[in-house]
Structure 1
């Protein structure tokens, strides 16, 4: 306070001369009093002092706030950088899983495309067995006579036709399943690739953001960037979206694997069943041809015996005819003797021993001729039956020959073109 009083006294001495001058000049009618002057000066000094103290307080507070804000900014930026790093790891992990799933789907799709080609080839290969079996049935319809029989060969051929048609239906259904599964795989793969592309772009953006710092020269102000916050999905939805895509991809991979195993087994079993039935049909054809050959040999043997009997019977008929003709002479002699002896006169016309002998001779000759003619008739009937048997045997032999030609030359030779196991499996 003493310094303030001293300063105030000095100020009064300094202001005295100007006041006198002003008073003498007469420029002002109302003047400040010394008290007022002193109060004004004191107020000015007090205000300056207060302003200085406020400035110091503000400066101290500003330094503290600046330090605090700097610390908060560094902490927030560091936390954002760490979260970006964690986010990059999560995106990289999911991107890797998506890549693995896409590769898995691509692998299974390629396998299914190969199976699709095999199924198409196998389906095309079944046309040949069906044509062979149908042609065999058609050829065997041209058999003649009693050989046109529904034998075991025909039964097995009908089974073969039914089996081939069932296999064709199964192949078509499996082919449709493979086509649909390939379509599902491609659709799922496209979804995963879009998700992967989004994550790859996001990874690049987040990686760029993670490299930004306060010394980066390519940063700038974007005042409206925070306004998009309400339009963003939450992290759970983001995780759920990719998890659903991966789950769908896993399901399609498992479905593809199951279909692949089923197709492999089905193609193998179909080829085995077709070849097994073909072997049964071939065995039946061989047995049938053997039976036909055996029957034909028996018929030919029987025909040779019949022909021999025909020759013998013809010779027998000739001998019987000759025997009947040979009896004509004794018959004429006996009848002539009896005729002339009937011309004996009077009592000479008696029934003597020559007469009785002639009558007995005539009766014996007539009886012998009658027996010979009866035997000749029987021989002729037997010859006619033998001729009929010969014709039947020759016709039956021709039927057997025709049947053998159909079964052995037509059917069995045609069956040599039956596809192999590899062809029926689609290779």
Structure 2
């Protein structure tokens, strides 16, 4: 009968491959020698003692087992040290590489943050300049109310001209042009002001987006700085389960950079649009101011020319009035002289008629048509004819006097109308036009 010896094996650690350990096989020991108790007479019986060979075999087996266990343990310790060293080196390399990549990320974040800061400063400065231009537009638009009120007031004042002086002259035509120009300028300034307000709103919108992106990058930069400072001796570190899981809403480095690039590109585009708009506003204000002042000078020249024309006409009519008054005086004297001449013809008429009357009482044949009689009759006829001529001339003189009086009244009325026109144009209109805004005010600087 054979005996089989079983030796327990040590558990194999999971980190060491099972095939790298030595395989130990124990052979069964059988008593087959000269002193074996396995004879035919003792078949089926086993004594309590081992044979010498069995004892030797057991010693050899124990020694071999000890040697194998020591060898396996030494190999396991060597492999464990090597694995630990490799894992430590790998962990250090990984941590160093992660720290380096965090540093690179910090550089990228710092770059885009700096670009955003620069663009935010530029957009803020540009928006402030555009706000100044907006205030210029508002002041300029407000300043155009004064020329408009002056022009409309001039037109209303000139409606109070009297008679033939209520004429559509060059000054009125230029005033109408001025009113139309001012209204066109106001419409242009209003449209430009609306465009400026819209551009300011767009500048502020893109600035807000950049500030939000900048704020996110500042927060991410601080987080990455904190992460970069962590090491194995840090006291704040701890386990966070599932922290290595990627979120669904994460971005890629390409989309991350593209987002900031698009925002900065849009900001630069809006900033260039704002710069162009400021240049346009400056040109518009310069052109409109020049047009308004030019038209104002044209209107003032038209008023001055019209006042000179009215003044010349007034002086001419005053001269005619003076001559008419002189003529009226002469005509009145002439009428007095004619009346006196007619009255002076009464005495000779009385003498001649009395003579004829007295001679009509001559008796009988003495009632003769002598030359004296014929001369008396002829004298009466001449006196009658002269009186009729004088009366006719008196009527003509009186009619001429009436005509002169009518002319005098007409001249005086015309002179009064022209004086009223001069008062309106000079005292009302031209003096009012001295309040016309200056170039600096129309340009929106005040």
Q: Same fold (TM over 0.5)?
A: yes
Matched, 1:123 2:145: no
Question: What are the superposed Cα offsets for residues 32-53 of structure 1, whole Å, 9 maximum, x if unpaired?
Answer: 7536666555554444443333
Q: How does 1:415-426 map to 2 (within 5 A)?
A: 415-426=433-444
Instruction: Work out which of the residue numbers 175, 178, 182 in structure 1 matches 2:196.
Output: 178
User: Cα distance, 1:400 vs. partner?
Assistant: 0.7
User: Cα distance, 1:321 vs. partner?
Assistant: 0.9
Correspondence for 2:161: 143
User: SS of the counterpart of 2:245?
Assistant: helix
CA distance in 2, matches of 1:210, 1:102: 28
Moved more, 277-286 or 58-67: 58-67
Gapped regions of structure 1 (runs ≥ 5) = 1-27
Question: What are the superposed Cα offsets for residues 221-249 of structure 1, whole Å, 9 maximum, x if unpaired?
Answer: 22321013544211111011101110121
Q: Return closer, same or farther for 1:65/1:230 CA change in 2, 3 Å cut-off.
A: farther
Correspondence for 1:108: 126
Matched, 1:299 2:317: yes
RMSD: 2.1
CA distance in 2, matches of 1:145, 1:58: 130
Correspondence for 1:267: 285
Correspondence for 1:61: 79
Moved more, 129-138 or 202-211: 202-211
Instruction: Work out which of the residue numbers 378, 394, 397 in structure 1 matches 2:396.
Output: 378
User: SS of the counterpart of 2:237?
Assistant: coil
CA distance in 2, matches of 1:32, 1:362: 219
CA distance in 1, matches of 2:277, 2:255: 32
User: Cα distance, 1:177 vs. partner?
Assistant: 2.0
Correspondence for 1:391: 409
CA distance in 2, matches of 1:291, 1:162: 26
Q: TM-score, normalised by structure 1?
A: 0.88
Instruction: Work out which of the residue numbers 339, 344, 350 in structure 2 matches 1:326.
Output: 344
CA distance in 2, matches of 1:287, 1:43: 142
Question: What are the superposed Cα offsets for residues 256-312 of structure 1, whole Å, 9 maximum, x if unpaired?
Answer: 111211222222222222111111111111111111111111111110000000000
- Following TM superposition, where does structure 1 have runs of at least 4 consecutive aligned residues deviating by more than 6 angstroms? none
CA distance in 2, matches of 1:193, 1:286: 61
Correspondence for 1:25: none
Instruction: Work out which of the residue numbers 161, 164, 185 in structure 2 matches 1:167.
Output: 185
Q: Return closer, same or farther for 1:223/1:372 CA change in 2, 3 Å cut-off.
A: same
User: Cα distance, 1:62 vs. partner?
Assistant: 3.1
User: Cα distance, 1:316 vs. partner?
Assistant: 0.5
Question: What are the superposed Cα offsets for residues 347-377 of structure 1, whole Å, 9 maximum, x if unpaired?
Answer: 3333321122222222222221111111111
User: SS of the counterpart of 1:227?
Assistant: coil
CA distance in 2, matches of 1:30, 1:316: 199
User: Cα distance, 1:63 vs. partner?
Assistant: 3.7
User: Cα distance, 1:100 vs. partner?
Assistant: 0.5
Instruction: Work out which of the residue numbers 245, 254, 274 in structure 2 matches 1:227.
Output: 245
User: Cα distance, 1:58 vs. partner?
Assistant: 3.0
Correspondence for 2:102: 84
Correspondence for 1:337: 355
Correspondence for 1:209: 227
Moved more, 372-381 or 337-346: 337-346
CA distance in 2, matches of 1:162, 1:32: 139
User: SS of the counterpart of 2:244?
Assistant: helix
Count of matched residue positions in the alignment of Structure 1 and Structure 2? 400
Correspondence for 1:350: 368
Matched, 1:278 2:309: no
User: SS of the counterpart of 1:218?
Assistant: coil
User: Cα distance, 1:211 vs. partner?
Assistant: 2.6
CA distance in 2, matches of 1:42, 1:349: 225
CA distance in 1, matches of 2:246, 2:266: 31
Correspondence for 1:289: 307
Correspondence for 2:14: none
CA distance in 2, matches of 1:342, 1:32: 232
User: SS of the counterpart of 1:223?
Assistant: coil
Gapped regions of structure 2 (runs ≥ 5) = 1-44
Correspondence for 1:256: 274
CA distance in 2, matches of 1:262, 1:152: 34
User: Cα distance, 1:30 vs. partner?
Assistant: 6.5
Correspondence for 2:419: 401
User: SS of the counterpart of 2:246?
Assistant: helix
